[in-house]
Amino acid sequence: MAGLANALAVDGTEMTKPLANAAIYFALDGYDPAAKGINGRRVAGESFLNGYLDHAHADEVVSLTHGLRDARHFSAIVARRAGHRRVRSVMLDRAQEIAPLDVLSYPSPAIGRECWRRSEYGSAAYAICGVTHTIATRLFMQSMVEMRTAPQMPWDAVICTSRSALDALTLQMDLIDQNLAARFRGTAPPRPLMPIIPLGITCDDFARNPAAGAALRHRLGIGKDDIACAIVARLSVAEKFDPLPLFIALSRAQAEVGRRFHLMLYGKFGDARSREVFLRGAATLMPGVGFHVIDGSVAEDRLATLSGADIFLFPIDNVQETFGLAPVEAMAAGLPLIVTDWDGMKDTVPPEVGIRVPTEMPPQGVSARLGRRLYGETDSYPQFCTQLSALTRVDLGALVRALVQLGSDPALRARMGAAGQARARAVYDWAAVLPQMQALWGEQAAMVAHARATGQGEPPVPAHQFPPLPLPGLYFRSFPTRVARDPGRRFVALPADDLPAPEALLDLRNYEAANRLIEPRSQITATLAALRQAGPQGATPDDLVAATAIPLASVWRCLFWLMKYGLAE
């Protein structure tokens, strides 16, 4: 790993950064849209994992998981995608075992909790690398405050997927640090690294399929000379875009071009209200335009939609969007784009591949009330997004002109599509993006190594001094009559002729229904058997460890469960 390198051009000079591997924090919710439901975060997570398995320079693939179920899911994904790679899984409560890796890749920008989790081993145990997705929720913004008050170190990183995301995070960190410095009369700690690295895609997954596109057009009744416009997105008026301005623009563009337009929407409605707005809005505002909703749960229709379209549209007016992965996928399929001049699309869509339609928000103070209502939970996140969307203007005249321009000029569509395809391959394919991430991990690993060598890291935080969640036995010490303190205490098995066997008691209590059993049944029964074997003189917890090879903490938990049900004393 240390011998691999990536040449990066900086101000015209070549510099070499080591390419480093990272352990991947894996929970199925962040990586499997098929199992957990399609949203941008999961689609991006699945794409990242596939791109990593295809292109990472790594001796082994390491996951950090909550438990064996997620570890098995991870191993199955690796086996399907890259069966030649060696896999190792580490449980979350033993995170230091990701060594010799020095970086943890975390699928969220909210790394504060992971910084605290790391503190058990010392802040230089490894570096953490998060990545931005949606940054508009109250919980996300609160997590940035928590990160700056957590033991976050300068070798940690939050990848910003766009300049807009970087600007937003920088602004909030300025506010947080100003407040910390003023309140505590000191200097705020160093910030994490915040490089701009885009989300990636596997371009080959979006290679145009003309036969599938033609079949879809035929199925929908879209004529050869008609202009098919496609949108691939979650169909939510609260958390994606307001479709009504687009419907108005399509109707006006169709009248001006003199050819029939069609709008193909591939996705799933976010809720019943969104369905009503889309369906009634289309019927009312663009009755002459073809309108087709394509089920987003049919995976093969995604590529068919992109293959059958003439133009890809992404008229986002919602702060839920941060990067905009769908336009990059459409570029890979060779489609010209009409997008809003909004967040990540300011970076991804230059003039040669598409048209960006101007957007405008009102003066900054106008939305202050909306922020206060979100923070106080008077308004939900969808309500917050809906209201900001209602105050965001998409230049309707410019949108009509863009539709007319591309709708009237097939040669321009072809040139933009070809340019987009080349740009997607050169800039956004994982073959181009992943080396940037590994170079960042290499930089982080070097910083961690330097911190260890020079003693810059913070020492480990013992469990009884852990501020975010104090040791439960310590935190709740005033609740019970007493807390067991004598390690030499002897325990005996009690007669239990009037009780069912421990397995039957466990069946009655059914801890498994909540997926939480303090210890495996086998350890509980083994502890009881060892107590019975010890006879009336009993046994200490250390004696039981020697007799059963069960860890000491587990023995204590088994003993207290047995005492709870009158099986031991």
**What digits encode the pLDDT tens for the residues 90-110?**
999 899 999 999 999 999 999
- The 8-class DSSP code of residue 25 comes to E
Residue 506, pLDDT score: 85
Residues spanned by CATH 3.40.50.2000 within the chain? 203-428
Architecture of the domain whose range is 203-428: 3-Layer(aba) Sandwich (3.40)
Share of the chain above pLDDT 90, in %: 82
| 484-564, CATH topology level | Arc Repressor Mutant, subunit A (1.10.10)
Residue 39, pLDDT score: 62
CB 115 within 8 A of CB 150: yes
Nearest to 436 by CA among 106, 25, 38, 51: 51
Q: What is the pLDDT confidence band of residue 445, given thresholds at 50, 70 and 90?
A: very high
Nearest to 191 by CA among 209, 171, 216: 171
Residues spanned by CATH 1.10.10 within the chain? 484-564
Q: What is the pLDDT confidence band of residue 14, given thresholds at 50, 70 and 90?
A: very low
Sign of the four-CA dihedral 251, 257, 258, 262: negative
- pLDDT surpasses 90 at 444: yes
- Helices and strands (DSSP H and E) totals, the chain: 22, 16
How crowded is residue 364: how many other Cβ atoms within 10 Å of its Cβ?
A: 7
- pLDDT surpasses 70 at 199: yes
For the segment 287-317, what is each residue's pLDDT rounded down to a tens digit?
999 999 999 989 899 999 999 999 999 999 9
- pLDDT surpasses 50 at 551: yes
Q: What is the pLDDT confidence band of residue 19, given thresholds at 50, 70 and 90?
A: confident
Q: What does the H/E/C string look like for 144-159?
A: HHHHHHCCCCCCCEEE
Residue 2, pLDDT score: 33
Sign of the four-CA dihedral 376, 379, 384, 387: negative
For residue 81, count CB atoms less than 10 angstroms from its CB and return exposed for 0-12, middle for 13-18, buried for 19 or more: middle
Task: Name the amino acid, one letter, at 401.
Answer: R
> CB-side exposure of 294: number of CA atoms within 13 Å?
27
For the segment 322-344, what is each residue's pLDDT rounded down to a tens digit?
999 999 999 999 999 999 999 99
Is the omega angle on the peptide bond into residue 189 within 30 degrees of 0, that is, cis? no
Q: What is the pLDDT confidence band of residue 36, given thresholds at 50, 70 and 90?
A: low
The residue ranking higher by pLDDT, 311 or 19, is 311
Q: Give the distance, in angstroms, between the CA of residue 292 and the centroid of all CA atoms in the same chain.
A: 30
Residue 37, pLDDT score: 58
